[in-house]
Chains A and B, each alone.
Chain A
Amino acid sequence: MQSKEKELTKVKKAKKERIHYIGKAERRERKATGLFLLPSLAGMLLFYILPFFVVVYYSFVDSPVNREFVFFDNYKNLFRNDAFRLAIKNTLQFSLLAVPAVVILALLLAMILDANIPFKSQFRTIFITPLMVPVASIVLIWQVIFHQNGALNEFLSLFGKASIDWLKSDYSQIVIITLYLWKNIGYNMILFMAALSNIPTDIIEASSMEGANAVQRFFYIKLRYLSSSVLFVTILSLINSFKVFREVYLLTDNYPYDSLYLLQHFMNNTFRTLDYQKLSTAAIIMCLVMIVIIGIMLLIDNRVGRDLSE
């Protein structure tokens, strides 16, 4: 009896040691692979993360020299700033118009290209090309088209429409949205095409056997499987919609028509006067808005995703 017990404890001990031994090896590996992260992490900390805390700090003090804690005064001041309010309004308006448009159109294009139509790969190539053309290169053509005496007005005058200076009118956002769509549809379309090709074909076949028509197949099956890509594309498009300042700046320089005054214009002008408080506060507000949006998207994604795996 006693010898048996001894054996058991030995086995247990050995087992324990073995586990311990593996744990050690793994820990060593973990440490070794951790080293690979160091350069990137150091750079991230230095250039993005640590200064970000400084930005947070700056948004709560009255000036970088005085350093008196003023709670939310900077935020209150910023929201009272007319330029900031205009910039927020325009940026939001642009995003609300452009993002759904680009998501829906890209999805439509992806669906069409996913069905077997002739010249599929040629179409795909053409729709991605704008992604690879620098904006600065085509700005001239955009000016030729949308100028007061430009090609579009020339064309519209055939139908007796009075000419407008598109970039200096209330339609100016439409010009930028066209440019944005032109630029971004290709990337989103590829993301959607990748997602479409990942939908299991047997489910679609089964559904069409059961008599589901194309519309039903789209809304009840494909859209469910696409939901996570739709969310990702929406986030991406949203971020790209904040980058549209590039296009606006190249077309209209620093002081555009009122409806094109975007957040980045506000930031640039504030950088010129080096008002750290305003800059930091605006950055923090922007960051919070983005985090809230991304959080909501991830929550939706989790819920839909769980639905799907059941």
Chain B
Amino acid sequence: MNKNTPGVKTTVSETLNKSQAERQRLERIQVKRQRTLFRIRHNIIVGIIVILMAATALLFMMPTVLTITNSFMSATEIAANYGKIFGNVGSGSKTYISERVNLKLIPDMISFSQYSTVLIKSPQYLFKFWNSVILVVPITIFQIIIALSASYCFARFDSKIRSLIFFVYVILMLMPYQVTLVPNYLVANWLSIINTRWSIILPGIFAPFSVFILTKFMRRIPSAMIEAAKLDGAGEWQIFTRICVPQCRSTLYSVAILVFIDYWNMVEQPLVLLSDSEMHPLSVFLSKINTGDVGLAFAVATIYMIPTLLMFLYSEDYLIEGISYSSSIKG
């Protein structure tokens, strides 16, 4: 018995060890299996999310892409596709009108005829386009220049008066057109600039939106930088032009884009302030295009979105950065 005991012991411990090893092995396999299961589940979830997002993204792109592709259709194709909606599309009486509406992604035949009509034969669209440019470009440029200097004042020092004025600016920024257009109209009437382009440009130049964003950005410029410039003998004007403005460059791009697109889209101001529809920008005029010219309308619509889309392509990152800075009302 005494001899056997160690042997028994060893076998017991061996079997114990064995079973433990076995158990560990099994556990490891199980963990592995769980992990792979988890990974598969994770991948499936991610896959579903990506597919859903892709579907949403497709829906989001659809209006823009369809407008662009439709602008390359010939007049007859437009008539065939949308005849049921826009009535007598096209001038020809013998055009074939399909029974159903065809929302086509790719035109049967790519044609530039609509563009040539818009650009060469009927210049009234280009006039309206020019109307938009002549309103929006000065507003964007001067609003930013004035906002830069104002935000320099707000960012350099904080006092009770300044924060009160800034608060008024913010409130005004948040006011809808229904509120601000009435004062604008009164002043335009008083200055007798009503029904001229100035009645839109001047209030636009002093709109507080870009002051808000630029102030937020300028407050982030380290004061040590300004102090150093002061020690070197720089005056306020030099600090402003040499230090603060160059620091703001990327924000300037995004503010410029945001202001530009906002006014490029304008509808309310021209309707109220410009009774002469000759001066209306393309954003208002586009909806007035006769149903007979739907094909043209697609081409004009595409031309109208080119400037903003180009800006977006060239400066998406700046734009996103700029929007991110405006993420709360308080400084």
Q: A interface vs B, CB < 8 Å?
A: 29-30, 32-37, 39-41, 43-44, 46-49, 51-52, 54-55, 112, 117-119, 122-145, 147-151, 154, 182, 187, 190-191, 193-195, 228-229, 231-232, 235, 239, 242-243, 245-246, 249-251, 253, 263-264, 267-268, 271, 279-280, 282-283, 286-287, 290-291, 294, 298, 301
Contacts and interface: CB of A to CB of B under 8 A. Distances in A.
B261 interface: yes
B85 A147 contact: yes
B324 A190 contact: yes
A46 B202 CA distance: 10
A136 B184 contact: no
Contact of A149 (B85, B176, B179): B85
Given A119-B50, A137-B302, A287 B316 contact: no
Given A138-B63, A264-B268, A51 B305 contact: no
B119 interface: no
B53 A132 contact: no
B183 interface: yes
A51 B184 contact: yes
Contact of B61 (A126, A263, A298): A126
Nearest to A129: B64
Contacts of B103: 144-145, 151
A19 B192 CA distance: 52
A145 B283 CA distance: 20
B206 A137 contact: no
A40 B182 contact: no
Contacts of B31: none
Contact of B174 (A41, A43, A128, A290): A290
Contacts of A34: 153
Interface stretch (B10-18, B19-27, B107-115, B307-315): B307-315
Interface string B174-208: 11111111111111001000000000001101101
A51 B183 contact: yes
A129 B329 contact: no
A32 B236 contact: yes
A29 B157 contact: yes
10 contacts: A44-B208, A47-B184, A119-B54, A127-B57, A132-B308, A140-B294, A145-B103, A246-B265, A246-B267, A287-B179
Interface stretch (B1-9, B32-40, B142-150): B142-150
Nearest to A147: B85
A136 B298 CA distance: 10
B283 A136 contact: yes
A128 to B, nearest CB: 7
B101 interface: yes
Contacts of B330: 228, 301
Contacts of B174: 235, 239, 290, 294
B93 interface: no
A116 B328 CA distance: 25
A187 B297 CA distance: 27
A41 B60 contact: no
A47 B183 contact: yes
Contacts of A44: 168-169, 172, 206, 208
B217 interface: no
Contacts of B329: 231-232, 235, 298, 301
A122 B316 CA distance: 12
Nearest to B272: A271
B67 interface: yes
Contacts of B283: 134-136
